[in-house]
Amino acid sequence: MATPEGKEQTLRVGDSSLTVIQGGSGQPVLVLHEELGDPGWLQWHTELARSRTLMIPQHPGFGKSPQIKWIRNIRDLACFYSRLIREQGLTPIDVIGFSLGGWIAAEMAVNDAKQFRHMVLVGATGIKPPQGEIADLFTVTGRSYLNSSVQDQKGTAEFAKLYGGEHTPEQFEAWEDARAETARIAWSPYMFNPSLPQLLEGVAGLPTLLIWGRQDRIVPLNAGEVYHKSIAGSELMVLDRCGHRPEIEKQAEFSQRLQQFLA
């Protein structure tokens, strides 16, 4: 079977350019990546791309997208992406956000829920967990952070494929760039907006699916429960024996539920 690998393209937003990975066919879906950058084309991308066009922007300052100086916080970035999808004629669009990307999507929904058809947040940051803390990316290495992101490193085939073995200078540099950019926009408070639960209460009528690993060591499940309580009508899907990366740790269940939800 031919793999519909993503193709890289450059879009303009105002004076800035943005690298977007695009692949598949069908109604577009906006995919917002996590704090350590775009992980590359994954199995779940391949499966969803059979019926949908995936648009995966590399956030400004991450990967190949140049840094945009005026973007200083997650709200700025959310407004930037709202402009992108509006100017590309993509609204309303389905959105999937992972970790930091989930926070961006949530801030976009708060600004204007009507720009989305469906919203899927996976292990999203953005809300202070009532118990525990969001794991700190800034006091550990990229490698340590990734290692704690999954519940079972060895048993997660795609994890080993993505992050196993020795790391190249390019990989180290990409993680450092991602950490630096995340620090620029999310240093403190880490990594939440204290007002977000209240703001989300104003998001009405947006079908929302929250996906969390029960053993998430990056964003504790109880933060997901706050998301669930704040967004009326949202569904919280909790995966057992799963950490912060359901899309690779429980890929089959993840893909199946995602496709049902977006259908």
Partner 1 sequence: MHIMTFSERPYFHVREDDIISNQNSYFGLANMGDTGFDPAKGHQLYHEYFDERIYAEELGFDGVMLNEHHQTPFCMGSVMDVEAAVLARITKRVKIVLLGNPLPVADPLRLAEELAMIDVISGGRLVPGWVRGAGSESIANNANPAFNRERFNEAHDFVVKAWTTPGPWRYEGEHYHYRFVNPWILPMQKPRPQIWIPGIVSPETVIWCAEHRYPYIALCTNIEPTIEMCNLYADVAERNGYQAGPENFGYLQSVVVAETEEKAQELGRGFVYGGGFGSFARPEWMFPPGYNSKAATKRLAKAMTDPRTGAEIIRFTEGEIDVAEVKRSIATQYVNSQEQGLIIAGTPKTVIAKIRSLLEVLRPGIFGAWYHHGPMSYQDRRTGLRLFGQEVLPAMREMAKELDLPGPFEQMPGIRPLPASGKREQVVGLGA
- Asked if residue 194 binds partner 1 (CB under 8 A), the reply is no
Q: Using the minimum distance from each CB to partner 1, give the nearer residue, 61 or 126.
A: 61
CB atoms within 10 A of CB 53: 16
211: phi then psi, degrees, rounded to nearest 5: -120, 125
Q: 122 and 147 in contact (C-beta within 8 Å)?
A: no
161: contact with partner 1 by CB under 8 A: no
Q: Which stretch binds partner 1 (CB under 8 A): 16-24, 127-135, 167-175, 197-205?
A: 167-175
Q: Are strands 16-24 and 7-13 parallel, antiparallel or unpaired?
A: antiparallel
44/175 with CB nearer partner 1 = 175
- Whose Cβ is closer to partner 1: residue 24's or residue 60's? 60
Please identify, among the stretches 39-47, 163-171, 207-215, 226-234, the one whose residues bind partner 1 according to the rule CB under 8 A: 163-171
Q: Please tell me the distance from the alpha carbon of residue 30 to that of residue 22, in angstroms, as a whole number.
A: 10
Q: Give the separation between CA 228 and CA 248, rounded to whole angstroms.
A: 23
Least Å from the CB of residue 36 to partner 1: 11
Piece of the chain touching partner 1 by CB under 8 A; list 18-26, 106-114, 171-179, 198-206:
171-179
Q: Which residues neighbour 259 within 8 Å (Cβ) at sequence distance 6 or greater?
A: 47, 48, 51
Q: Which is nearer to partner 1, 131 or 139 (CB)?
A: 139
Q: Among candidates 74, 106, 43, 44, which has minimal Cα distance to 262?
A: 44
Applying CB under 8 A, the span of 114-122, 132-140, 224-232, 253-261 interacting with partner 1 comes to: 132-140
Rounded distance, CA 182 to CA 125, Å? 12
Asked if 235 is part of the footprint of partner 1 (rule: CB under 8 A), the reply reads no
Q: Does 154 bind partner 1 (CB under 8 A)?
A: no
| 52 lies in the binding site for partner 1 (CB under 8 A) | no
Nearer to partner 1, 86 or 167 (CB): 167
Q: Give the chain's radius of gyration (CA, Å).
A: 17
224 to 12, 58, 173, 248: CA distances (angstroms)? 34, 25, 31, 19
| By CB under 8 A, residue 74 contacts partner 1 | no
Closer residue to partner 1, CB minimum distance, 169 or 205: 169
To the nearest whole angstrom, how small is the minimum distance from the Cβ of residue 212 to partner 1?
A: 26
First CA to last CA distance, the chain: 23
Query: Which positions touch partner 1 (CB under 8 A)?
Result: 137-141, 143-144, 166-170, 172-173, 176-177, 179-184, 187-188
